[in-house]
Amino acid sequence: MGAPMARRLLAAGHQVVVWNRDMSKAQALVSDGAVVADTAASAVKDCDLVFTMLSDGKAVEAVLFDGGVARALAKGAVVIDSSSISPPVARDHSARLQVLGIAHLDAPVSGGVVGAEAGTLAIMAGGEADVVDGLLDVFAALGRVTHVGPSGAGQICKLANQQIVAITIGAVAEAMMLVEAGGASREKFREAIRGGFAESRILDLHGARMVTRNFVPGGPSKFQLKDLDAVKAMADLFSLDLPLTEQVRCAFSDFVAGGGGDTDHSGLLLHLEAMNAAKGGEGKE
């Protein structure tokens, strides 16, 4: 998602320096006007605003602190972490950057690659409200930003978003199996309920994937599981019982353990089909 976000910023007239652990991904942005840096630290030199979009908290830690980014930034700079990481890690990063005179927003996004390309991302920003307000023109190139609370609040809202996404994917997948077992067309079922109370972005995009059986990611299932594991950690911390979330987390855990980690998260359908086929129920090769 980082590449289309960078392209949106470039198209809006911002000067953008890029760095990626896979340099071929950074080089792909040169034709759009980006400048490629050799290291993460050199990428942020003289920059007022830094976006990070990385796989997990360990990767963010490695780039910001082990990779020298924090030390290379000037006082007054702002780091916007759009990665999906645990709220305590986000708060830790914010506190450590604040000591250096650097502002920090945890601002994970939802909308996938399609939303990143279209500039329609839902951006959940945690941190100081005045920092968010001062960057509204920058966020406008990417989507709709909402200040959801203090440091870490962006990440907790993203985890809640991922709960809804995962449970809804599971619900749509199970419904697809039920209607086919009963003799109806999955494609026509999806068409029939569009616009009703079951309408959702998941039914729109991932329901279509389930009909066409196109499970090229997208959002890899291993990242969906990573987020659900983080939800479980926070639920344990808050002494919350979240039975629906736990059930779908276990399903994703089994799917990833069985080799589905790099399959789009809508591919949870494959796991449910295989589970039912093993029991002698409906399955589909």
Distance CA 93, CA 274 (A): 41
Angle of helix 153-181 relative to helix 186-193, nearest 10 degrees?
Answer: 120
Instruction: Pull the structure tokens for residue 171.
Output: 């619900």
Three-point CA angle 76, 79, 83, nearest 5°: 175
Q: Are 121 and 113 in contact (CB under 8 A)?
A: no
Q: Are 123 and 140 in contact (CB under 8 A)?
A: no
Instruction: Pull the structure tokens for residue 128.
Output: 């100081």
**Which residue in the list 45, 158, 222, 279 is annotated as catalytic?**
158
- For 24-63, give one letter per residue: b (16+ CB within 10 A) or e: eebebbeebebebbeebbebbeebeebbbbbebbebbbeb
Q: Are 175 and 206 in contact (CB under 8 A)?
A: no
Cα–chain center distance at 26: 20
Instruction: Pull the structure tokens for residue 248.
Output: 């779908």
25 classed as catalytic: no
Instruction: Pull the structure tokens for residue 155.
Output: 């990440």
C-alpha distances (whole Å) from 160 to each of 28, 145, 151 are: 33, 16, 16
Which ranges constitute the DSSP H helices of 100-152?
112-118, 129-133, 136-140
Annotated active-site positions, please? 158
